[in-house]
Amino acid sequence: MTRLRPLILGCMILALGTAATLGAEKAAAPKTDAGPLVAVVRAVIGTVETRPAKDQPWVPVTVGMTLAEGADIRTGFRARCILDMTDSLVQVDPLTVIRIGELRQEGQTVRTRLYMKHGNTQAVVEKGKIESDFAIITPSATLSVPGTKGIKAGFYPVLGGSYGLAGSGLIAVRDTMLGRQTNCGQGESTNDNATNPLQVLAQLYLPIVLGDKGYDPKEQNAAGRWHTSMPIPPGLQGGAPPNTGSMTGGQETGGGDGGPIPPGYRGDNTIPPPPAGGGPG
């Protein structure tokens, strides 16, 4: 029996070691399955409502509720909610309408797409064991994130959008219409046109440089507009402003191809009438 004791002890140590190794391997192994995920509501302040799909009724959001792909969320005045989306934390700010467009796991990547109609959102995207493919899409721009904190996105019709980063990391903003893209580092922000963050800062803080005629850079065509007392600059003479219809303020000296202006011709964008005396045939 005394001879067997070390053997039994050795077997036990071996078994424990094997079990521990297997357990550690099991814990470290990333989940590779694919499928839709859900967002868990962490906090709710004020009136926040959701619906699981377009044709479903709106119901109040409560803490602990799970929201799946396709769910719409709307917040009221001074209301907000925080959503836990596996690899990201999203705060939906007041007066926002947002949809969880995509929230799914694809291999080791969690793909998240938030469609924001209007309003403001903030997000923290954790760069860790799970690879993140996170983006906030507004009608005018797309903000995509590899992994960072302090993301801020806001959009309202006419007023435009603003996209910035308060924390460390990097975000990319792409103009939906033109496809132009820019990156924002910590403390930088951009707009719908994906303007370079340095230019945004320059517009905010640098004094306006006026030209020799007293126009700022945005007023290059000021004298070409209607209802102005300023004379048309020499460079703009010879053509009417576009889409003027019957209003002829341009000082045309000739037709489009250099010939005389036909009678009844009312601007560059209108089709000249056929010459008097009959057309073809």
Interface residues toward other proteins, by CB under 8 A = 30-31, 35-38, 40, 42, 46-49, 58, 66, 74-80, 82, 84-89, 91, 93-95, 97, 105, 110, 117-120, 122-126, 128-130, 150, 152, 156-160, 166
In angstroms, what is the minimal distance from the CB of 1 to other proteins? 46
In angstroms, what is the minimal distance from the CB of 13 to other proteins? 29
Q: In whole angstroms, how far apart are CA 197 and each of 34, 114, 186, 194, 205?
A: 37, 23, 11, 8, 12
Nearer to other proteins, 103 or 268 (CB): 103
In angstroms, what is the minimal distance from the CB of 222 to other proteins? 14
Nearer to other proteins, 66 or 251 (CB): 66
Nearer to other proteins, 125 or 141 (CB): 125
First to last CA, the chain: 124
DSSP, res 61: -
Cβ neighbors of 214 (< 8 A, separation 6 or more) are none
Encoded tokens for 64: 């602990």
Nearer to other proteins, 164 or 267 (CB): 164
In angstroms, what is the minimal distance from the CB of 261 to other proteins? 32
Q: How far apart are CA 71 and CA 58, in angstroms?
A: 10
In angstroms, what is the minimal distance from the CB of 164 to other proteins? 9
In angstroms, what is the minimal distance from the CB of 194 to other proteins? 19
233, amino acid identity:
P
CB-CB contact of 167 with 148 (8 Å): yes
Q: How far apart are CA 70 and CA 243, in angstroms?
A: 42
Nearer to other proteins, 160 or 250 (CB): 160
Identify the helix (H) or strand (E) that includes residue 19.
helix 4-28
Nearer to other proteins, 193 or 268 (CB): 193
In angstroms, what is the minimal distance from the CB of 75 to other proteins? 6
CB-CB contact of 43 with 63 (8 Å): yes
Q: Of 167, 168, 193, whose CA–CA distance to 181 is shortest?
A: 193
Nearer to other proteins, 85 or 135 (CB): 85
Encoded tokens for 80: 């907000």
